[in-house]
């Protein structure tokens, strides 16, 4: 089904829940006025629905060609990519000085959600390029920037992130690829796997960002450096030179994102691929993590986008398909009238909308962390974005899988038939909880780097913000909601986060690791309650102030649905977190003996 | 990965949790002694792992051929089917008088779980034949039985269930296929969709059980009759005669179970297919529901089987794959040592084992309901099996999807690559929550026919049994478990079922319908706690009595894991059930306006 960008909801979240006006007062973002942003989102929405969405099923069905190291993308993909570049959608946040649009991260979040939602396999390519841009922009020498940045920003060339090796997946300490110094450059050799858009035919060059070890590098994570390795070398005058000593050995046959080439790349089969060191030796992993933060936010947005598209698809079907009687219509009614179908669609819609708010708020904090002139504000938002990234990445992607699966269920038997299109969302979404760090890795990041390292400071700051929302909710008058009840749900959610944070800080053993994924899910649901509480406040102001529309009524009902159907699960997670760790840690490999 | 039948666990459940010895004292089941059953399961396990399992990936990859109405199954499938027939595995519960093995339903449950787990797409064919056998055996005339039963029981011919039409899915009242009387038979016309194994090349004939309407039939569900419609007519001497006027128009391209032909069948394009009325006119739906009960139990077992296979696959991978350090090994350890991986495998293993016990207990009650000579006992077990079927079908299948998805997650990026095989379980499992009645339909059956209709009698009977288990748990001595805590979890689970049952009985509106799926999940989890409580009692007796093995230790840990990691979700569901219905019923089609 054609994707429709949920622009009304996006603008509501931007303006009323993320303070877009204030963001537009940050230095460098002055052009992001509400009118300008609305116009940009309108255009981006058209591109998503008219250009990217129609190629989504085609890409899934046709997939990729692969022959002698060359990848062929499906018909229409190169043309769509050319349009993306021409319209400047490749890298909306990049600095104007390098040819970017210089948009706030929070506005880019809308654009990325749209493009990922319309066609996840396609948008992975610009997403990876954005990561490469950040690495080069942030850490490379002026010469490297000059050579590579303009064409990466424009999208004339695309970029990749080369981390994984067969023995080095979640554990990057095990990386073995080598980089040997040779004059002004390095000779790179080794094999990288799972390289998204590592080879394709949409641009004349591909710029690989590759993690490898110098000959004298220390073992482990502190001996990894980052290199720029172009597919074609660049001559002095900036034109394409020789083919570098690297090739695509194979592409994977995957459950989903069929049109996104997942490549095995061999570097240095003939002596070594020419690579250029980014920044200092041995700190490559730090650079990679800096750019990974944004990649993780983008994958979180991919989760939101796929969930949105799956929800639209299922809703459309439920409004067309007639079957049996419903509470309101005893004849043959559309199935959206069946209470269980409403429940499924309500879960799909409410969680997607909660995840959207949370993701955009992470992007908002990114803007402040990068642009605020107030050092305290800057630092506070840096803590906030650091805390939220693993939650947004982990929670949005897990719920995108659940949402896509519910979408199939709404379709009944039709959902299982590939032609319907419902199954593609599940197949595509299923990778999002794995790449750019699995949910388990996000969860360890949350409890380790984001809670234990600052002794809960960032988590308890957000608890204070949640309580502020609860207080305002408690103060509301008017009949558009049961305000004390909503306030209670938000303050209860704040208490769950506070208690779990304190529990984590009190442990001395491996208990937090054992239940880390439960912690992440609890944070997602509880922070979602906070986000939805704020959404109710805004919707309520419109409704009570007579500026309410059908959108605000629906938003209020969706908030109530979320509070009643989703938030109770956070209580269960709290019980599990504080009680289940011993039962997990006591399970040993030998206890699975029968199975293996 | 080759499927290994979990025979040790199956026998533990049969003997210690289902009272196999007592079942073998029921009339007609005297041969099902523990020794005989163990020998049968051993043989069935070999067939599952040596014959069916190796064809599972092949079937997925090669899929089916379809040309001019003929379906070609993958290489090796016909030969495997021939072996199944030859070894008598086609219909283990059918009466000896028709050539069946006459095994108890509870033993057949093990066999079905094995075969479905080893190769779900294949075993669907015998599963549907078993349904057809039940319909003919239970309701057809002696003449029809004589003609069709022996070859259906042996498996020389296969059977199908023809319910769904394009406009009649969950709502069978909308069926339009026609049956016009013509001498001793009827002429059937109409189109049926989603007919599993509706056409294939493994047997010379296929016997379709078809729902259709007589010319004078009342509208709705009370005007549907059941017919036997063979692919080839049978001559007086029992040999194959003319091809009937029916054909396979197309097969579906599906997310999973690629080697199971899902057919659109056209009846009567040339005047009408010859069909024979089963039983009385206009009560076809009742007959279909009678056989559907067993089909639903079998789909529930399919869920358990796929979950078991996915768990074995993921466990095997987690014991081989090395990545990073763990609490017990700071070097490079196998990933089964990582707490989050243990958590995922623990969820997979513990829920699968709980669902197995529950499914086998449903089958046990089926045996008593069919064979007990005590009328009260017979009726009590009929109530029990009626109550458990929707729970087993709905819960086991939903958890099979979650388990298969977790299995992918354990594999990380490898799980997303089809060659690994982990993704097939998810794709195959995804249909189980849909066919033979969606989870939503099971949930409506549970609250409507199984709770409201008898005013909670069957549900409160099981609450009493749960409390009995809790009392025995509270009485245990010895250090193999924290008995009072286990007892508390089981009695808490009993209370949740009791409260929810009473809440359902107190409602006057559509509230129970709105949260029916949550009710079903709560029943599954809470009854799973009861089942696991009994498992702990048995394991504890072995451990404390010095007859404990590694199996019993693992079982005890698995029970503790289930109680700590799974049962808390029932509390959340209880909150949702009693609180969320208004938020669901208030959502109207117009509230999804943006999406559609």
| Exposed/middle/buried for residue A206 (C-beta within 10 Å: 0-12, 13-18, 19+) | buried
Does the beta-carbon distance from B4 to A323 stay under 8 Å? no
Average pLDDT over residues A387-397: 98
Q: What is the pLDDT of residues A42-63, one digit of tens each?
A: 999 999 999 999 999 999 999 9
Chain B positions touching A557 (Cβ under 8 A) are 583, 586-587, 591
Does the beta-carbon distance from A173 to B434 stay under 8 Å? no
CATH topology of domain A53-87+119-282: Butyryl-CoA Dehydrogenase, subunit A; domain 2 (2.40.110)
The pLDDT value recorded for residue B431 is 98
Q: What is the pLDDT of residues A358-369, one digit of tens each?
A: 999 999 999 999
Distances (CA, A) of A60 to A56, A178, A256: 6, 36, 7
Cβ count near A589 (within 10 Å): 17
The pLDDT value recorded for residue A76 is 97
Q: Which two tokens stand for residue B16?
A: 């210690």
Q: What percent of chain A has pLDDT over 90?
A: 95
Flag whether pLDDT at B595 surpasses 60. Answer: no
Does the beta-carbon distance from B583 to A553 stay under 8 Å? no
Looking at chain A, which residue has its C-alpha nearest residue B1? A596
Flag whether pLDDT at A595 surpasses 50. Answer: no
The pLDDT value recorded for residue B172 is 92
Beta pairing partners, B208: B160, B229
Task: Using CB atoms, pick whichever of B171, B590, B592 lies closest to residue A324.
Answer: B171
What is the DSSP secondary-structure string of B152-208? Answer: HHHTSSEEEEE--BTTBSS-GGG---EEEEETTEEEEEEEEEEEETSS-SSSS-EEE
Task: Using CB atoms, pick whichever of A262, A340, A582 lies closest to residue B443.
Answer: A340
Flag whether pLDDT at A596 surpasses 70. Answer: no
Question: How close does chain A come to B77, measured CA to CA in Å?
Answer: 23
Q: What is the pLDDT of residues A313-328, one digit of tens each?
A: 999 999 999 999 999 8
Does the beta-carbon distance from A516 to B339 stay under 8 Å? yes
CATH topology of domain B157-282: Butyryl-CoA Dehydrogenase, subunit A; domain 2 (2.40.110)
Question: How close does chain B come to A96, measured CA to CA in Å?
Answer: 34
Q: Which two tokens stand for residue A102?
A: 């210089």
Distances (CA, A) of A446 to A356, A364, A521, B338: 19, 19, 11, 16
Does the beta-carbon distance from B311 to A595 stay under 8 Å? yes
Flag whether pLDDT at A304 surpasses 70. Answer: yes
Q: What is the pLDDT of residues A189-231, one digit of tens each?
A: 999 999 999 999 999 999 999 999 999 999 999 999 999 999 9
The pLDDT value recorded for residue A168 is 93
Q: Taking the domain B7-137, which CATH number applies?
A: 1.10.540.10
Question: How close does chain A come to B99, measured CA to CA in Å?
Answer: 35
Q: Which one-letter DSSP state was computed for residue A50?
A: I
Q: Shortest CA distance to B413 belongs to which of A423, A292, A438, A288? A: A438
CA pair distance B395, B443, nearest whole angstrom:
10
- Band of pLDDT at residue A293, cut at 50, 70 and 90: confident
Q: Which two tokens stand for residue A381?
A: 């938002």
How many CB pairs below 8 A link A and B? 306
From the candidates A113, A165, A436, A511, which is the catalytic residue?
Answer: A436
CA pair distance A204, A240, nearest whole angstrom:
9
Q: Which helix (H) or strand (E) holds B240?
A: strand B240-243
Does the beta-carbon distance from A594 to B164 stay under 8 Å? no
CA pair distance B160, B135, nearest whole angstrom:
11
Average pLDDT over residues B339-348: 98
Distances (CA, A) of B91 to B109, B135, B191, B286: 12, 13, 29, 22
Q: Shortest CA distance to B192 belongs to which of B271, B128, B266? A: B266
Chain A positions touching B169 (Cβ under 8 A) are 323, 412-413
Beta pairing partners, B274: B187
Beta pairing partners, B159: B207
Does the beta-carbon distance from A561 to B587 stay under 8 Å? yes
The pLDDT value recorded for residue B289 is 86
Chain B positions touching A349 (Cβ under 8 A) are 592, 595
Q: Which two tokens stand for residue B313?
A: 């696959």
Does the beta-carbon distance from A409 to B571 stay under 8 Å? no
Residues B432, B436, B442, B445, Cα dihedral to 10°: -170
- Band of pLDDT at residue A175, cut at 50, 70 and 90: very high
| Least confident piece of the model among A58-72, A248-262, A272-286, B319-333 | B319-333
Q: What is the pLDDT of residues B523-532, one digit of tens each?
A: 999 999 999 9
Domain ranges of chain B: 7-137, 157-282, 444-584
Q: What is the ipTM score, two decimals?
A: 0.97
| Least confident piece of the model among A148-157, A262-271, A284-293, B513-522 | A284-293
Task: Using CB atoms, pick whichever of B174, B427, B557 lies closest to residue A586.
Answer: B557
Question: How close does chain A come to B104, measured CA to CA in Å?
Answer: 25
The pLDDT value recorded for residue B292 is 87
Chain B positions touching A590 (Cβ under 8 A) are 550, 554
Residues B3, B9, B10, B12, Cα dihedral to 10°: 170
Chain A positions touching B521 (Cβ under 8 A) are none
The pLDDT value recorded for residue B233 is 98
Does the CA dihedral B449-B453-B457-B460 come out positive or negative? positive
Chain B positions touching A440 (Cβ under 8 A) are 338, 340-341, 344, 409
Does the beta-carbon distance from A595 to B401 stay under 8 Å? no
Flag whether pLDDT at A84 surpasses 90. Answer: yes
Q: What percent of chain B has pLDDT over 70?
A: 99
Cβ count near B450 (within 10 Å): 23
Chain A positions touching B419 (Cβ under 8 A) are 253
Q: What is the pLDDT of residues B200-232, one digit of tens each?
A: 999 999 999 999 999 999 999 999 999 999 999
Rg (CA), chain B: 24
Looking at chain A, which residue has its C-alpha nearest residue B433? A409
The pLDDT value recorded for residue B330 is 87
- Compute the half-sphere exposure of residue B89: CA atoms within 13 Å on the CB side of its CA: 29
Q: What percent of chain A has pLDDT over 70?
A: 99
Does the beta-carbon distance from B427 to A255 stay under 8 Å? yes
Picking from A565, A578, A581, A586 by the largest number of B CB atoms within 10 A of its own CB, the best residue to mutate is A565
E-strand ranges in A197-301 read: 206-212, 225-230, 232-234, 240-243, 246-251, 262-267, 273-278
């Amino acid at each position: 089904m054609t994707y429709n960008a949920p622009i009304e909801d996006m603008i509501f979240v931007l303006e009323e829940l993320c303070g877009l006006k204030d963001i537009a007062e940050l230095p460098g973002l002055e052009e992001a006025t509400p009118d300008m942003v609305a116009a940009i989102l309108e255009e981006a929405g058209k591109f998503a629905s008219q250009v990217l969405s129609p190629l989504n099923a085609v890409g899934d069905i046709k997939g990729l060609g692969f022959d002698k190291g060359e990848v062929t993308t499906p018909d229409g993909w190169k043309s769509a990519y050319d349009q993306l570049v021409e319209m400047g959608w490749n890298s909306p946040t990049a600095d104007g000085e390098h040819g970017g649009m210089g948009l706030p991260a929070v506005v880019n979040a809308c654009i990325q959600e749209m493009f990922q939602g319309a066609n996840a396999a396609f948008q992975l390519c610009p997403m990876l390029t954005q990561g490469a841009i950040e690495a080069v922009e942030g850490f490379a020498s002026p010469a490297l920037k000059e050579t590579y940045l303009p064409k990466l920003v424009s999208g004339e060339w695309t970029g990749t992130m080369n981390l994984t090796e067969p023995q080095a997946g979640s554990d990057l300490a095990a990386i073995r690829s080598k980089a040997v110094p040779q004059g002004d450059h390095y000779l790179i050799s080794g094999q990288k796997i799972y390289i998204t858009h590592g080879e394709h035919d949409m641009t004349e060059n591909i710029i690989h960002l590759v993690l490898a070890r110098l000959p004298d590098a220390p073992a482990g994570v502190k001996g990894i450096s980052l290199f720029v390795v172009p597919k074609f070398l660049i001559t002095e005058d900036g034109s394409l030179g020789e083919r570098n000593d690297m090739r695509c050995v194979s592409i994977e046959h995957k459950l989903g994102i069929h049109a996104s080439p997942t490549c095995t790349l061999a570097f240095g089969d003939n002596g070594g691929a020419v690579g250029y060191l980014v920044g200092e030796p041995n700190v490559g992993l730090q650079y990679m993590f800096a750019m990974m933060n944004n990649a993780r936010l983008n994958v979180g947005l991919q989760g939101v986008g796929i969930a949105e598209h799956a929800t639209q698809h299922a809703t459309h079907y439920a409004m067309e398909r007639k079957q049996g009687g419903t509470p309101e219509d005893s004849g043959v009614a559309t199935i959206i009238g069946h209470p269980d179908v409403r429940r499924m669609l309500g879960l799909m819609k409410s969680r997607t909308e909660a995840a959207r708010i949370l993701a955009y708020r992470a992007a908002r904090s990114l803007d402040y962390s990068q642009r605020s002139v107030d050092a305290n504000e800057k630092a506070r938002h840096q803590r906030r974005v650091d805390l939220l990234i693993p939650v947004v990445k982990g929670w949005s992607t897990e719920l995108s899988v659940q949402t896509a699966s519910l979408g199939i269920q709404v379709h009944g038997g039709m959902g299982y038939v590939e032609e319907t299109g419902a199954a593609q969302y599940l197949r595509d979404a299923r990778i999002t909880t794995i790449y750019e760090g699995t949910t388990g890795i996000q969860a360890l990041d949350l409890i380790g780097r984001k809670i234990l390292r600052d002794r809960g400071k960032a988590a308890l700051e957000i608890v204070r913000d949640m309580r502020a929302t609860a207080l305002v909710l408690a103060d509301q008058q008017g009949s558009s909601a049961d305000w004390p009840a909503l306030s209670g749900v938000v303050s209860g959610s704040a208490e769950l986060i506070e208690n779990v944070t304190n529990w984590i800080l009190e442990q001395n053993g491996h208990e937090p690791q054992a239940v880390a994924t439960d912690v992440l899910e609890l944070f997602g649901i509880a922070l979602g309650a906070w986000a939805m509480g704020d959404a109710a406040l805004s919707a309520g102001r419109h409704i009570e102030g007579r500026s309410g529309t059908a959108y605000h009524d629906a938003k209020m009902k969706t908030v109530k649905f979320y509070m009643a159907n989703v938030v109770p699960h956070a209580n269960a997670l709290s019980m599990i977190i504080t009680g289940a760790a011993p039962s997990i840690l006591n399970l040993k490999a030998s206890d699975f003996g029968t199975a293996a």
